[in-house]
Structure 1
Amino acid sequence: MRILIVDDNPTNVIIIREILKKENYRNFITASSAKEMLKLLGIGSADGEGGKQQSDIDLILLDMMMPEMDGIEACRVVQEYEHLKDIPIIMVTAVGDSKKLAEALDAGAVDYVTKPINKVELMARIRLALRLKREKDWHKERDQRIQDELKLAALVQSAVLSLPITDERFEVNAIYQPSFELAGDLYAWYPLGDGRYAVILLDMMGHGISSSLFCMFLASVLKDTVTTYVEPEKVIQELNRRFNQLYIEKQLVQYYFTAIYMVIDTRLKRIDYVNAGHPPGLFFEGNAKTPVLLESNCHPVGLFDRIDIQPQTLSYEEDGHLVLYTDGLLEMAEGDQEEQLKFMVRNLNGGHGWDEAPMREAFFIDEPEQERDDDKCLVWISLKKGQE
């Protein structure tokens, strides 16, 4: 525990040092001016120039009235540095002006003692400030540990996402931008053999830790579910069954997810799909600028024990591309759903081949994480005739 005593009067410094020694506080240093204090803290000078090394000071006893720079101004300078602003500063003052004392507290001081110094009062305020500092340091360390664990969890979550596939008749790519480190969107695809591929995109209600955990559970059962049941109706029903097994006692929020799942047969040129409450997929074939909409045909997954599904089938003859997305992309456009779909079509009706740059420019603006309202995910599937 290290204390910094700042006072231009040597007598005051001696008095405080002796009080601290008698209370077994022996790890302290002194400064005769505010500028000297700033240098000791690694700031260097009043204009902010100088080093930025972390300070090992745990408490500052700062005289309010000093030449060149007073304690209030020095306190304001300290508050400008993120790594110093949590050091508790106790003002030591002979001034009884309540406005000045209030100004000192507004500048960042946590407390004050008046001269002549009362030993009992000084030590009580020091103990309180140090106790609060220890608690704040504990919370900072805990928060940092949580942030480190979240970053690791985000890496794990990202690792379960499927990698791009490029085959003669089928190509699939994706862009994913979570609103936070952990997100509630999930996509996956699996080759089924004989030119068939299963593709799923789902969007868990909400985002953050709880939604990401549900997504990780679904990721753990997806491959087995898809390869066992294959057909869209059966896969969605099984996911509904498995998801409803996650019974949480006293659960205040009803969790569910929207999903669009499809089996693409590139030999028969057929798409069998189920859209469970998800934004409509967009299929552009040949030179058509207006897409076929793969609209919702059942309610979201997890709302009820049973889910009634009417699977849909779509056939194609020409080259085309199919775009799946989560509602984070729709919400970039103002207006009702019709206006939002026009916005999507306008940005997606180009060539059938995958071109990542314009997709990022249109939908994945590089904005700070704290300003992102929702997770964003886009899956682009290119369908090619190939050699007959």
Structure 2
Amino acid sequence: MSIIIVDDNVTNQLIIKTILNKAGYSNLLIASSGRELYDLLHIDTPCRLVEGVDLILMDMMMPGIDGLEACRRIQTEDRYRDVPIIFVTAVGDSNKLAEALDAGATDYVMKPINKLELLARMRSALRLKHEKDWHKERDKRIKYELDLAKQVQRSVLSAPIEDENVHIEAVYQPSFELAGDYYAWFRIDERRYGVMLLDMMGHGISSSLVCMFISSVLKDMITRVTDPEKVMRELNRYMGQLYRSDELLNYYFTSIFVVVDTESKRIDYVNAGHPPGLVITETGATLLEPTAPAIGLFDNIEVTKGTVSYEGKTSIILYTDGLLEEMSESDDAARRGKIVDLTRTFASKSPSEIVDELSSGTHSSSQRDDICMVRITVK
């Protein structure tokens, strides 16, 4: 721990130093002016940080750079903004003292110095700094862990597929460090592909963890269950395992699961309370409307499978409601129409470019919800 004493009067420096030495504070630095304080802190060399500065005791009235100016200057430096500054001053003007506090000072002590008062105010300021340092260290650790969790979450998302039958790819734009949207796809056999998109209730760590849970469940399930109805019922059963009667909140998600059979040119799907998917051909577009309630809300759910046949080159667009919210059109029908038009017009562009185009007319300053879009192009 180091404390800097800033005073142009040598006698005052000696008095304060003696008081602090007797109280057990040994690492004391002396500055006789604001300029010397700047030099100690390397104020004019922003890449250099002086470690371990815990407190500054500063006179208010000094020649050249006075205490108020020095205090304001220090407050502009992010690296020293949390270092408490206590003015040790003979100025009794309440306006000046108020100005000192407005400039960023933590406290003040009047001259002649009362030893007990000075030490008590120092202890209070140092406790406050300790709390701030603890919170900063904790926030840094949490940010590191969130970054790590974000990398893990991204790693479980399926990589693009392009083979002789289909091209499957997605765009994923979380509104928070950790998101509640999740997608996955699997090649079931030589002719069939299963694709899942879900939107978990809420955002952040808890929603992300539930998505990771669903990811592990799907990887095990998809090898033995391929029928969309059975997949949704199984997911609902697993979500029921997360419910706790002592909590008011239970997790649920909307989802759409499609199985594309490229041999029979058929799409089987279940839409569990999710925004309708779009099957887009050269001649028209078909909605994959909801056929079941959201997953996790009820112990038992009624699930109905839908089937759509297609001919020729076809695109299947699945998306979360965050995409619709970022579009400027006034209703969902108009938004879906725009998605269909852009999918046809920008067939050679990536889903990311299409999403950018879809949201280009919005006046929102920040993204309100997670955005995810999956495009399946059947060759």
TM range (shorter): over 0.9
SS in 2 for 1:240: helix
Letter in 1 for 2:300: R
Instruction: Supply the distance in 2 between the matched residues of 1:12 and 1:298 (Cα, whole angstroms).
Output: 79
Q: Distance in 1 between matches of 2:125 and 2:295?
A: 52
CA deviations 1:160-189 (Å, max 9, x no partner) are 000010011111011111111111010000
Map Cα deviations across residues 70-111 of structure 1 (whole Å, 9 max, x no partner).
Answer: 212221221122221111111111111122111211221111
Mean alpha-carbon deviation: is it higher for 72-81 or for 317-326?
Answer: 72-81
Alignment counterpart, residue 287 of structure 2, candidates 270, 282, 293: 293
What is the aligned length? 373
1:61 is aligned to: 57
Cα distance change of structure 1 residues 52 and 249 upon mapping to structure 2, 3 Å threshold: farther
Is residue 14 of structure 1 aligned with residue 10 of structure 2? no
Mean Cα displacement is larger for which, 163-172 or 246-255?
A: 246-255
Q: Does 1:358 align with 2:353?
A: yes
Mapping 1:241-252, distance limit 5 Å: 241-252=237-248
Superposition deviation, residue 38 in structure 1: 2.0
Give the Cα–Cα distance (whole angstroms) in 2 for the partners of residues 251 and 281 of structure 1: 33
Pair 1:239-2:230 in alignment? no
Does residue 312 of structure 1 match 2:302?
no
Aligned partner (choices 209, 226, 231) of residue 230 of structure 1: 226
Deviation at 1:69, TM superposition (A): 2.2
Residue pair 2:180, 2:207 contacting (<8 A) in 1 also: yes
Distance 1:6 1:364 in 2: 56
Aligned to 1:261: 257
C-alpha distance in structure 2 between counterparts of 1:61 and 1:295, whole Å:
69
Provide the C-alpha distance between the structure 2 equivalents of 1:43 and 1:363, rounded to a whole number of angstroms: 47
Amino acid at match of 1:359: I
Alignment correspondent of 1:221:
217
Deviation at 1:364, TM superposition (A): 7.4
The answer on whether the counterparts of 1:333 and 1:343 sit within 8 Å (CA) in structure 2 is: no
Could you list the per-position Cα deviations for residues 130-174 of structure 1 after superposition, in whole angstroms to 9, with x for gaps in the alignment?
Answer: 111112111111111111111111111111000010011111011
Structure 1 unmatched runs, 5+ = 45-49
Match of 1:47 in 2: none
Helix, strand or coil for the counterpart of 1:349?
A: helix
Q: Does residue 32 of structure 1 match 2:32?
A: yes
Change (3 A) 1:219 1:33: same
Mapped pair 1:197 → 2:202: no
Contact kept, 8 Å, 2:175 with 2:367, in 1: the verdict is yes
**Alpha-carbon distance in 1 for matches of 2:39, 2:332:** 59
Deviates more, 1:1-10 or 1:341-350: 341-350
Structure 1 range deviating more: 25-34 or 69-78: 69-78
TM-score when normalising by structure 1: 0.92
Moved more, 151-160 or 350-359: 350-359
Matches within 5 A, 1:108-187: 108-187=104-183
TM-score, L = length of structure 2: 0.94
Specify the alignment match of 2:98 in structure 1. Answer: 102
> Are the equivalent residues in 2 in contact too, given 1:173–1:354 (CA < 8 A)?
no
Which residue in the other structure is 2:47 paired with?
Answer: 52
Residues 79-90 of structure 1 mapped to structure 2, 5 A cutoff: 79-90=75-86
- The residue aligned with 2:377 is 382
Say whether residues 1:372 and 2:367 are aligned partners.
yes
After superposition, the Cα gap between the structure-2 partners of 1:53 and 1:240, relative to the gap in structure 1 and judged at 3 Å, is same
Give the distance between the partners of 1:136 and 1:186, measured in 2 at CA.
37
**Residues 299-319 of structure 1, C-alpha deviations (whole Å, 9 max, x = no match):** 111110111011100111110
Change in 2 beyond 3 A, CA 1:364/1:84: farther
Structure 2 CA distance, aligned partners of 1:128 and 1:21?
A: 18
Q: Is the 8 A contact 1:225 1:239 kept in 2?
A: no
Q: Percent identity?
A: 54
Give the superposition deviation at 1:253. 2.3
